[in-house]
Amino acid sequence: MKKIYLIMFALMTVSFQAQENTTQAITTKENSKTYKVNKNKGKLLINLGQVIVEGYKGNEIVFSLEGKTPAEDKRAEGLQAVNVLGLVDNTGLGINVSEKDGILEVNPLKKISSPSIKILVPENVIVSFKHQSQYGGKVVFRNMQNEIEIAATYNNVQLENITGPATVKSIYGNVEAVFSQNVKGPLSIISVYGHTDVSLPKSVKANLKATTSYGEIYISPDFKIEQEKKTEDDLIHYGNDLVGKVNGGGTDIEVRSDYSKIYLRAK
């Protein structure tokens, strides 16, 4: 009799595991939905907790879900998701996309568990990112020749293969940027409490200003920097500000971290 109970228990365990695996497979299915807007100039304003923005040669702004997506709620069939601001999911991706005064605005419906969105953006569209929620995650901008404006509170910001112009500031997040060979200024890369890590071509010609109030500055020796003279006796002033010309000067580049470290790398 004891053996019979053991066999029955084992079969029940296998059955429960199979049901759990089936449920998990359903809730992590791939999502192939996209939402497209015919727009190849003007401005895109993004207010999302986590997003990947990528430049491409095209005439449409293309939105899609990044990675896995939960299964649809069958109880919500025939209903439309809406948030306290009255915004509805008009994309099928859990976000709201609407145009106001020529600016295409992207807003989430959920603050905490908002989806991770990927956006393909044509080259001539100015991209602006603004996010203040404490639930902000990582945001990535890659392969872009667009003008970029980023104002984040908690987001970590990552720029990959960017030309600029770019104005980037995060209050509590880190900012890491790798610029392409064709740098277009001005560039302003700032984090108040996080570190800033910037990679530039070693041949870049720039008017550089690196500033920290309570941190440290690390700069690649491959950069030829002529520091500005700060005193009347023609002596170089060493402190929390490094101001000088890189390779004779050129593009205005500001790098700042008030309470953490600055890393300026040559590539």
Q: What pLDDT score does 68 carry?
A: 67
Indicate whether 191 and 236 sit together in one domain. yes
Residue 64 lies in a domain: yes
Residue 81 lies in a domain: yes
Stated as kind and residue range, the H or E segment containing 144 is strand 138-144
176-196 pLDDT, tens digit per residue, is 999 999 999 899 999 999 999
Report the alpha-carbon distance of residue 150 to residue 126 in Å, rounded.
Answer: 11
Residue 251 lies in a domain: yes
* Domain end marker among 162, 195, 213: 162
CA-closest candidate to residue 115, choices 123, 102, 106: 106
Q: What pLDDT score does 239 carry?
A: 52
Residue 24 lies in a domain: no
CA-closest candidate to residue 208, choices 238, 178, 244: 244
Indicate whether 143 and 170 sit together in one domain. no
Local structure of 51: helix, strand or coil:
strand
Residue 19 lies in a domain: no
Stated as kind and residue range, the H or E segment containing 45 is strand 42-46
* Domain end marker among 108, 127, 162: 162
Give the list of residues 6+ apart from residue 187 with CB closer than 8 angstroms, or none. 164, 165, 166, 167, 179, 251, 252, 253, 254
Report the alpha-carbon distance of residue 196 to residue 147 in Å, rounded.
Answer: 20
Indicate whether 147 and 205 sit together in one domain. no
> Phi and psi at residue 11, in whole multiples of 5°?
-65, -40
Residue 25 lies in a domain: no
Residue 150 lies in a domain: yes
Q: What pLDDT score does 236 carry?
A: 43
Query: How many domains does the structure of the chain reveal?
Result: 2
The residue segments making up the domain with residue 50 are 33-162
Give the list of residues 6+ apart from residue 226 with CB closer than 8 angstroms, or none. 244, 245, 248
Indicate whether 68 and 133 sit together in one domain. yes
Residue 10 lies in a domain: no
Q: What pLDDT score does 166 carry?
A: 98
Q: What pLDDT score does 31 carry?
A: 53
Indicate whether 80 and 191 sit together in one domain. no
Q: What pLDDT score does 26 carry?
A: 30
Q: Going residue by residue through the chain, which has 267 residues, state the pLDDT in tens, using 9 for 90 and above.
A: 544 544 444 444 444 444 444 333 333 344 568 999 999 999 999 999 999 999 999 999 999 998 766 567 789 888 877 777 788 999 989 899 999 999 999 999 887 777 889 999 999 999 999 999 888 899 999 999 999 999 999 999 999 999 999 999 999 999 999 999 999 989 999 999 999 999 999 999 999 999 999 999 999 999 988 886 555 554 444 458 899 999 999 999 999 999 999 999 999
Do residues 2 and 10 touch, judged by C-beta distance below 8 A? no
70-106 pLDDT, tens digit per residue, is 567 789 888 877 777 788 999 989 899 999 999 999 9
